[in-house]
Structure formats: structure tokens, C-alpha cells
């Protein structure tokens, strides 16, 4: 699901995975976020990981 589709659906995330959810950042990249509940409090931590680019170009670090 792309950025526009997630916005139109009224969701703040693009999709879910076993450990949390995937949101779309301002540049349109997927950002994986871990969501856990400990002692009744929900924690959300970004992995700061993005899927590799498909165009073959190396990303700047």
C-alpha cells in the first residue's frame, strides 16, 4: 500500500508485521516500527531501517 492509499484509508501506517507496523515517511520510504506493550504501557521504537532501493543506486550514508 502506498503513501496515498494509507492516507485515504485514514491509517497512519502502511501495513503491519509480526513485531509492529510499517509507516511511510515524508520521502515515501517505508519505515519499520516495533510496537510492544510492557506492564500495560505501549512502546513504539523505529528500527530506522528501510527496504533496499529497487533502482540499483547506492544510498548515501
Record the pTM: 0.58
Residue with the bigger pLDDT between 38 and 58: it is 38
Q: Is residue 17 part of a domain?
A: yes
Q: How many domains does the chain have?
A: 1
Question: What DSSP letter does each residue of the chain carry, written as one string?
Answer: --HHHHHHTT-SSSEEETTEEEEE-TTS-EEEEEEEEETTEEEEEE----PPPTT-PPPP-
- Reply yes or no on whether the pLDDT at 31 is more than 70: yes
Spatial distance between the Cα atoms of 5 and 30, rounded to a whole number of angstroms: 13
Q: Is residue 54 part of a domain?
A: no
Confidence grade of residue 58 (pLDDT, cut at 50, 70, 90): low
Spatial distance between the Cα atoms of 45 and 4, rounded to a whole number of angstroms: 23
Residue 3 in contact with residue 28, Cβ under 8 Å? yes
- Reply yes or no on whether the pLDDT at 1 is more than 60: no
Q: Is residue 56 part of a domain?
A: no
Amino acid at each position: 500500500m502506498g503513501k496515498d492509499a494509507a492516507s485515504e484509508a485514514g491509517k497512519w501506517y502502511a501495513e503491519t508485521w509480526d513485531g509492529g507496523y510499517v509507516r511511510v515517511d515524508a520521502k515515501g520510504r517505508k519505515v519499520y516500527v516495533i510496537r510492544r506493550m510492557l506492564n500495560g504501557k505501549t512502546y513504539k521504537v523505529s528500527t530506522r531501517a528501510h527496504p533496499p532501493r529497487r533502482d540499483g543506486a547506492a544510498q548515501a550514508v
